[in-house]
């Protein structure tokens, strides 16, 4: 396939673009979250993931669409490396940031233990469509949870600790 003046096999092109976009997403979503808030940015990123996966399952047979949509999905996936540590540090102070972020990454490892179930779903249904739709559902639920559950809980937590020690804050609450 040919895109932007480059001629490569679609899979090679997609893998190259996804690596670049996955690296660019980290500073991009960090910058966005500094302006509109961590949870609002999570909502946007998770929504992009959900829409991207749906579009990829529908239009992914077209080589150009496959490359572009794969890039979009991986662009949205990389946000966890900037948003989750920043949210953790904002919420619980930077004092134990490394420990807290380490605990966050145990969730990623635990999630990896669920990956073998995707092959079970695939063998039961005969294709990957159900696995992709499950991923879409989880991304959509995550988007909604970020906005309607995490945001109010985190702000209540920050306010509680701000009131408890209004003169001696270990960190500054994020203004959103």
Whether residue 173 lies inside any domain: the answer is: no
Q: Decide if 174 is inside a domain.
A: no
Q: List the single range of 11-20, 47-56, 78-87, 138-147 with lowest mean pLDDT.
A: 11-20
Residue 169 lies in a domain: no
Whether 72 maps to a domain, the answer reads yes
Q: Is residue 101 part of a domain?
A: no
Q: What CA–CA distances, in Å, run from 126 to 2, 107, 130, 164? A: 32, 29, 9, 56
Q: Is the dihedral of CA 64, 65, 66, 72 positive or negative?
A: positive
> What mean pLDDT value characterizes the chain?
87
Task: Look at the chain and report how many structural domains it folds into.
Answer: 1
**74-113 residue pLDDT tens:** 999 888 888 988 998 888 888 888 888 888 888 878 888 8
Confidence of residue 13 (pLDDT cuts 50, 70, 90): confident
Domain that holds residue 68: 9-94+108-164
Encode pLDDT of 48-80 as tens digits.
999 999 999 999 999 889 989 999 999 998 888
User: Taking the C-alpha atoms of 153, 156, 157 and 158 in order, what is their torsion angle to the nearest 10 degrees?
Assistant: 120
Q: Please indicate, yes or no, if residue 143 is contained in any of the structural domains.
A: yes
Q: Does residue 103 sit within a domain?
A: no
Residue 127: inside a domain = yes
């Amino acid at each position: 396939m040919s895109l932007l003046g480059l001629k490569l096999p679609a899979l090679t092109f997609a893998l190259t673009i996804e690596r670049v976009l996955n690296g660019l997403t980290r500073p991009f979503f960090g910058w966005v979250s500094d302006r509109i808030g961590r949870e609002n940015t999570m909502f946007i990123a998770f929504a992009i993931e959900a829409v991207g996966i749906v579009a990829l399952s529908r239009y992914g047979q077209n080589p150009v669409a496959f490359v572009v949509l794969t890039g979009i999905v991986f662009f949205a996936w990389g946000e966890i490396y900037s948003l989750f540590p920043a949210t953790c540090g904002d919420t619980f102070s930077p004092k134990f940031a490394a420990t807290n972020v380490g605990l966050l990454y145990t969730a990623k490892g635990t999630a990896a233990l669920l990956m073998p179930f995707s092959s079970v779903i695939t063998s039961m249904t005969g294709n990957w469509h159900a696995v992709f739709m499950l991923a879409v559902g989880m991304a959509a639920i995550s988007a909604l949870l970020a906005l309607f559950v995490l945001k109010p809980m985190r702000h209540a937590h920050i306010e509680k600790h701000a009131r408890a020690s209004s003169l001696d804050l270990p960190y500054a609450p994020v203004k959103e």
